[in-house]
Amino acid sequence: MPTPDRTAAKEKFMAFLEEKNLRITSQRRAIVETVFGTDQHFTAEQLLEWARERDASVSRATVYRTLPLLTESGLVHEMDFGKDYKIYDPNYADHPNHNHIICDDCDKIVEFESDKLDALETEISSKLGFSVKSQQLRINASCEEMKKLGACKNKDH
Amino acid sequence: MPTPDRTAAKEKFMAFLEEKNLRITSQRRAIVETVFGTDQHFTAEQLLEWARERDASVSRATVYRTLPLLTESGLVHEMDFGKDYKIYDPNYADHPNHNHIICDDCDKIVEFESDKLDALETEISSKLGFSVKSQQLRINASCEEMKKLGACKNKDH
DNA sequence: AGCAAGTCGAGACCGAGTCTCATTTGCAGG
DNA sequence: CCTGCAAATGAGACTCGGTCTCGACTTGCT
């Protein structure tokens, strides 16, 4: 599974800018190329560093100004794992509602989606008089199955 | 529904301190009285303010030093709603598995519990080879119903 | 009472993120 | 191509929650 249709994402974002009468500057181009040139999650600071490799003139302020545009466009997802920085996911358009299970023992993170879960959340929310805008489920767990199956290689015993 | 058995919580925390060979100081007493003297969620800064009403000598540093002890003891729950500050829940011992809906517009927080949700999480997790240790679901929403019902008083239009 | 270790408050400090402002740049319209 | 101007930019000051340091003060044990 190589990088999906990143060109489409880039173009969608350019269209989004145009729609809002915002300009396509060289710095924004560098940032967008960077964001959709990876599948990895990243922090604002990482994005700054990477974007500067493409265009040294990109400043911290511009990165922080562009990030909200990216999330507003729906192409990038902002996530908060309780650390003191935020994490961004450039694959959001392809997996708009995914959740995370984190193994407390080995720090492995597995993503999953569930229509049942989404439906249940919507149902509960509307009962309480809310309309869902976004959701974030984090499950801390231990991956005992994995250990049984073959984690002997990376742990002692 | 008046305040539940807060005295028990206070005593549990004192016992927790003793167990760890930590001292019971007047400042810690003021903080603990404050924390278990309310049912409300609070921020560190709010706790500082409230605790100072009981004992003016309580400092910011002490509040921030005591909060981790409270969460470590399992009596208070630390939560992160994607704002730039953390929120603490002094009722955690009584409702260990509750979830939150946050209104992005008015910052209202509603708690709920759902056996269906818990079951679904367990089911999904075990399918993926994990066993749940803890979970945190946050739904960001807008409370449109509330607005309809009577927010005319605090908004213009 | 006396002492050692734990704890304290004040304020320096940290780091992610925001804001200001003088300068530059994209992009019509000519 | 040129010109005008609003939008966008970079540098760095700033904000703000939270942490750390350090000398002074308490607690709890003897």
Q: Identify the CATH homologous superfamily for domain B99-153.
A: Ferric-uptake regulator, C-terminal dimerisarion domain (3.30.1490.190)
Residue B143: is its pLDDT beyond 60?
yes
Mean local confidence (pLDDT), B19-29:
94
Chain B interface, mutation test: which of A111, A124, A126, A148, most B Cβ atoms within 10 Å? A124
- Tell me how long chain B is: 157
pLDDT digits (tens, 9 = 90+) for A39-60: 889 999 999 999 999 999 999 9
CATH topology of domain A6-89: Arc Repressor Mutant, subunit A (1.10.10)
User: Taking the C1' atom of C19, which residue's CA lies nearest?
Assistant: A61
What is the C-alpha R_g of chain B? 18
Residue A70 confidence (pLDDT): 97
A-chain CB neighbours of B110 within 8 Å are: 128, 130
Residues 6+ away with beta carbon under 8 Å from A92: A74, A75, A76, A77
Among A78-87, A98-107, B107-116, whose mean pLDDT is lowest? Answer: A98-107
Q: Choose among A79, A82, A122: nearest CA to A98.
A: A79
Which residues of chain B are in CATH 1.10.10.10 domains?
6-89
Q: What single-letter DSSP state applies at residue B131?
A: E
Q: With bands split at pLDDT 50, 70 and 90, how would you rate the model's confidence at A146?
A: low
Closest CA to A51 of A32, A74, A73: A32
Residue with tokens 């007047």: B26
The stretches of A20-133 forming alpha helices (DSSP H) are: 26-35, 44-54, 60-72, 115-127
What is the structure's pLDDT at B156?
Answer: 36
Q: Where in chain A do CATH 3.30.1490.190 domains reside? A: 99-153
